Amino acid sequence: MSCQVMHLGLVFTTAVIKSRQMALHKVFVYGTLKKGEPNHFYFTNKANGYAKFISAAETVKRYPLIIDTQYNIPFLIHKEGVGHNVIGEVYEVDDTMLKALDGLESHPDLYSRLEDHVRILNVKEVSSEMQPVLKCWIYFILNLEKDIGSSFLSEYHSEGPHGKSYVRREKNVDYTVLKHQLHCKE
């Protein structure tokens, strides 16, 4: 059964309206997008799309979390089994927000957005149909050749004891320069 809706002088059927609805995605954030961090406003700015906080979480696999470049950016390196189970937050976002996040993270030029599993930390806070382990999009750095040492973070705070406060960068940063500073393969 379909009905017709008139909007701005155009007639749409419900089937067309439903096909324009956006998919929802789960995204795990571990750095400047978390609550209380410098880029969290991306989630609260409605112009970027829909975002809903789900829960605190941690990566199921261990990864190295580092802070690097002159901007003191947190980077999660895609090197399984090294580092810690990284603590962050899970958000549900629509296609528009995912595209805005891709822009902020310079995906795929700097970060690569990959799916991986995270473990919900506050199971009592989420709905009963939510699984304690979720598959989420996570922004990783791939192909890192730089020696990252052996001291990694398990959780990022821009004003943390590491003494490396996040530096907001200009909008038109050349991400090949950042990749070069990280010593990533092109």
Alpha carbons 165 and 73: distance in angstroms, whole number: 9
Catalytic residue among 37, 58, 89, 105: 105
CB 74 within 8 A of CB 31: yes
CB 62 within 8 A of CB 30: no
Alpha carbons 58 and 27: distance in angstroms, whole number: 12
Alpha carbons 4 and 49: distance in angstroms, whole number: 26
Look up 155 and say whether it is catalytic: no
Residue type, 17: I
> Which SS3 state, helix, strand or coil, does residue 63 take?
strand
The secondary structure of residue 167, as a DSSP letter, is -
CB 29 within 8 A of CB 75: no
> Which SS3 state, helix, strand or coil, does residue 140 take?
strand
Active-site residues: which are they? 105
